[in-house]
Amino acid sequence: MKLQRKNRVRALAVGALAVSGALALSACGSDNTSGGPGGSSSAKAANIKCDGKGKLLASGSSAQKNAMDVWVQNYAGACQGTEINYQPTGSGAGVTTFLQGQTAFAGSDSPLKPEEIAKSKTVCKGGQAIDLPMVGGPVAVGYNVPGVDGLVLDAPTLAKIFDSQITNWNDEAIKKLNPGAKLPDLKIQAFHRSDDSGTTDNFTKYLKAASGGAWKHEPAKKWEGTGGQAASGSAGVSSQVKQTSGAISYFELSYATAGKIPTVKIGTGATAPVEATVDNASKAIAEAQPAGQGNDLALKLNYTTKAEGAYPITLVTNEIVCDKGNKADTLPATKSFLTYVASKDGQDALKALGYAPLPTEIADKVRKTVATLS
């Protein structure tokens, strides 16, 4: 991922996060934050078992940044001898940094590739990197079209919009999905991520799987579509939608909530278009199938679900960590922090932030695997 210095817009409109002096949440690249989610969470200091001392470095997914803010705040309050420094540099950069041995764990919205697992064996002495699902949620499609509420789009139409084949908001394909809407004669301003992004990877996986061939490109962290405009990080693209008439882009639901950006309802083939909500995303994530081997708990999401009320554009952020061969000086704190994150208290904190807690069966597997890290 290309690291670019850019101040981040507010990540969630639920209050500023008070960061203690011992807590360093430096945000490198596009997601340098000036605020974050705050307020109380269900995490209780008494339920966090502290272990390890010093600084724990981690980086990666900006999609989970809002959750990380709260997790780190709660953990720092209970374990004052440990400093968790999570930099939301994006999934691609996070995995790269982890594979270089510079961080204790990484956040990635895409499971590790076979070549990345192979490369990890040089860092994870006697073991390899594994995926631990930790955060789920919807990828919202936000838009700024004056006078239009409740916009409905489907995968073929979205694919054509983001590939510059549909370029005006009063296009017949959009009119057909929105009878009665007063669609303006306004140019579409489609924004995509400029950095290597797991959110882009999941969004384009949806377009490829569900558009019936309208999306001609292979899914990837790097944007492959034709035309459009680029901005860095979820904060960057959501900010552009907020301030640009005719704009549309994709980002995690919390950014839409923060900016009061309207989101598209997705036509899936169910009886009614589906809104981007935590509960609707949870229905789709519940259809995920195991995709990893052994202790690797990677999931394969179903982007073509037609289940009633199931929102199809979802992602699951994985914490990438060594199953064996973790550095002795960071292992205790890594296990302690990830144990809390995967706990009921850690997961219960998510829903109010616009994330979907892990299904119980998956969360149980994650907790058991974290306990075996060595």
Residues of the chain with pLDDT > 90, as a percent, come to 79
**Collapsing DSSP states into helix, strand and coil, what is residue 359?**
coil
- The better pLDDT of the pair 18, 323 is held by 323
Whole-number Å distance between alpha carbons of 227 and 330: 44
**Collapsing DSSP states into helix, strand and coil, what is residue 212?**
coil
Nearest of 77, 81, 147, 135 to residue 109 by alpha carbon: 135
**Collapsing DSSP states into helix, strand and coil, what is residue 138?**
strand
Q: What is the mean pLDDT of the chain?
A: 88
51, 57, 61, 65: CA torsion to nearest 10: 70
Winning range, highest mean pLDDT, from 145-149, 194-198, 254-258: 145-149
What tokens does 343 get?
């706990």
Q: How far is CA 293 from the centre of its chain?
A: 23
Query: Is residue 19 scored above 50 in pLDDT?
Result: no
Give me the pLDDT at residue 15, please: 31
Strand order in the sheet with 129-143: 82-87, 54-60, 105-108, 314-322, 129-143, 247-252, 189-193, 229-231
* Side chain identity, residue 188: I
The answer to whether the pTM exceeds 0.85 is no
Give me the pLDDT at residue 351, please: 85
3-state helix, strand, coil in the chain (%, to 5): 35, 20, 50
Query: Is residue 359 scored above 90 in pLDDT?
Result: no
Task: Give the DSSP H or E segment for 329.
Answer: none
Q: Among the listed ranges 22-36, 233-247, 304-318, 360-374, which one has the minimum average pLDDT value?
A: 22-36
Query: Is residue 83 scored above 70 in pLDDT?
Result: yes
The residues that bridge with 322 in the sheet, in sequence order, are 129
Give me the pLDDT at residue 34, please: 32
Contact yes or no for 15/353 (Cβ under 8 A): no
Query: Is residue 8 scored above 80 in pLDDT?
Result: no
Query: Is residue 20 scored above 60 in pLDDT?
Result: no
Query: Is residue 142 scored above 60 in pLDDT?
Result: yes
Task: Quote the DSSP letter at residue 355.
Answer: -
Give me the pLDDT at residue 40, please: 37
Alpha helix (H) ranges present in 299-359? 331-342, 344-348
Winning range, highest mean pLDDT, from 16-20, 151-155, 230-234, 347-351: 151-155
Q: Is 28 left (phi over 0), alpha (psi -120 to 50) or beta?
A: beta
Give me the pLDDT at residue 134, please: 96
For residue 258, name the pLDDT band (cuts at 50, 70, 90). confident
Q: What is the pLDDT of residues 243-253, one digit of tens each?
A: 999 999 999 99
State the Cα angle at 201 between 196 and 206, rounded to 5°: 155
For residue 223, name the pLDDT band (cuts at 50, 70, 90). very high
Query: Is residue 26 scored above 60 in pLDDT?
Result: no
HSE-up of residue 181 (Cα within 13 Å, Cβ side):
23
Give me the pLDDT at residue 116, please: 97
Q: What is the pLDDT of residues 39-80, one digit of tens each?
A: 333 344 558 999 998 899 999 998 898 899 999 999 999 999
